Amino acid sequence: MLFRCTNCFGNVVYSPETGKMFCPYCSGTDTQETLAVPNTVNCVNCSGEIQVNDFTSATKCAYCGSYMIFDERVNGTFTPHLIMPFKLGKERVKEIMRKEFGKKLFAPDDFLSEVKLSTMEGMYVPFWMYDFDTHYNFQGRGTKVRSWRRGNTQYTETTYYNVLRDMDASFEKIPVDASYAMEDSTMDLLEPYNYTALEQFQEKYMSGFFSERYNYTAEQLEPRASAKAQNDTEALMQKTLGGYATMVPVSKNMNVTRKATQYALLPVWTYIYKYNNQLYPFQINGQTGKVVGNVPISKKKAVAYTATTAVVWLAIGLLIKGILGGF
Ligand SMILES: [Zn+2]
Ligand SMILES: [Zn+2]
């Protein structure tokens, strides 16, 4: 789908700042019509060839700059249940980047330049969200030790306990990143998101952004979510075992039941900075502004800084010499 302005035929996009559809060309709001985008080969606006991979569900035409959503990749089994609309717009994210890295002494000069930061693009990353119920039956042998002294004799009393725990736990929306390209470790660092901002999926939220459909099915990723639920259940149970000197498990039985699964899109801004033929990707949480990425170090700047430091030291050295020498 392509959202087109009925005033000027410009590409209408979703504005995170206002929460409304917006035409960047004539500043019109809510004056759009939609064009179907049936295939992923050509731009419906300018017929230019579109670069996509197997999973691309929304992209930008390299020739005319229109953002389009591929209907077949957000329909049927690929229809997201939920979407978290971008809360932070590009201008706000530029400010966040400048605040975060403005004081980095060794960053290359153009790292935070307007031109470079403007290449930033927003992307919706596909996630599966799992609801689980767990039931945990734990039996263990615990000890408590009491020690005291009478006269010259040290007494120690060890009491043995049969410890039983039987608990139920519920987990909602355990997220697992369903994109092959987005590294799991990066997504883990970008969390948390506040899931109360999730909304029923609507295509309009995707206009102005890139997106992928899920690369893995809910079944393929279920073991990862299930492991999270099991670890958390174990941790909850362990918290109830305080006060024992030792605890040896005798039997552990945990059942995990998947209650529901939802397919959701979460917002991430990506800034890819190229320096000395190397790419430095930065990811920014599109809801909270949390930044993940490493700043490249400009060798020239680092050398210049060291040189300045050496000169300063030399001057102080001379000054000390001067003081000692009594001028
Ligand atoms: Zn317009
Ligand atoms: Zn185009």
The domain ranges of the chain are 2-113+183-214+265-293, 130-174+218-261, 297-327
Ligand nearest to the CA of 24: 1
Q: How far away, in angstroms, is 29 Cα from ligand 1 center?
A: 8
Ligand nearest to the CA of 67: 2
Q: How far away, in angstroms, is 49 Cα from ligand 2 center?
A: 8
Alpha helices, DSSP H only, in the chain?
90-101, 114-117, 184-190, 218-238, 299-324
d(CA 10, CA 159): 79
Tell whether the model's pLDDT for residue 223 goes beyond 80: yes
Section 225-229 average pLDDT: 94
Q: How far away, in angstroms, is 1 Cα from ligand 2 center?
A: 13
Ligand nearest to the CA of 49: 2
Nearest to 241 by CA among 313, 106, 91, 136: 136
The reported pLDDT for the residue numbered 104 is: 78
Ligand nearest to the CA of 6: 1
Ligand nearest to the CA of 65: 2
Ligand nearest to the CA of 48: 2
Tell whether the model's pLDDT for residue 326 goes beyond 50: no
Ligand nearest to the CA of 61: 2
d(CA 98, CA 100): 5
The reported pLDDT for the residue numbered 308 is: 56
d(CA 28, CA 321): 71
Q: How far away, in angstroms, is 42 Cα from ligand 2 center?
A: 8
pLDDT band at 26 (very low <50, low <70, confident <90, very high): very high
Q: How far away, in angstroms, is 47 Cα from ligand 2 center?
A: 6
Angle, CA 15 vertex, CA 9 and CA 21 arms, to 5°:
45
272-324: per-residue pLDDT in tens? 999 889 999 999 999 999 999 988 887 776 666 665 555 555 555 555 555 55
Q: How far away, in angstroms, is 9 Cα from ligand 1 center?
A: 6
Q: How far away, in angstroms, is 74 Cα from ligand 2 center?
A: 20
In Å, what is the CA distance from 116 to each residue of 148, 216, 267, 324?
71, 33, 21, 52
Higher pLDDT, 39 or 235: 235
69-95: per-residue pLDDT in tens? 999 999 999 999 999 999 999 999 999
Alpha helices, DSSP H only, in 251-293?
none
